[in-house]
Amino acid sequence: MRIALCQPDAPELAPLFASHAVHADGIYPDESNHQMDGAALRAEGTRLWVAWSGDLAVAMGGWKPFDAVAAELKSMHVLQRARGQGAAARIVEAVVEDARAAGRTALFLETGSHEIHAPARRLYEKAGFSYCPPFGAYVDDPNSVFMVRAL
């Protein structure tokens, strides 16, 4: 599995973004659905890391500037067939290192509170994230959990 920086709106990522959207749309009501498509991520200045299995993009995650010194982890998603192979941990590691190298001092994230997201929360905990109150424009939401990690 190869991890590489990609433009969020690259056409070859369309199936990965479609899977991400189907997943989020199936769980969250509109007001709790914070996923973004590739064009929106690019417009926000997101740096997106992608795991490739051959020519297939199987996982992604990136960071977008949150303010002058912090960033937000965005669009973490792993295709079902690639889960359990370490792609998510490698993506988180790449995002953390890239954000740190860019001078960011903190990395925030919003993820789901549902049981289906328990593995993601454990991944973030292992990567050094701790729970925090909502940040930025987010508000308390029973569908969301918020985390932060100092860089």
Say whether 70 sits in a helix, a strand or coil.
Answer: strand
Query: Closest by alpha carbon to 23, among 33, 8, 9?
Result: 33
pLDDT in tens, 49-85: 999 999 999 999 999 998 999 999 998 889 888 888 9
* For the chain, domain boundaries: 2-150
The CATH number given to 2-150 is 3.40.630.30
Query: Closest by alpha carbon to 145, among 105, 108, 106?
Result: 108
Q: How far apart are CA 46 and CA 150, in angstroms?
A: 19
Query: Closest by alpha carbon to 141, among 20, 24, 28?
Result: 28
pLDDT in tens, 13-37: 999 878 776 665 456 555 655 566 7
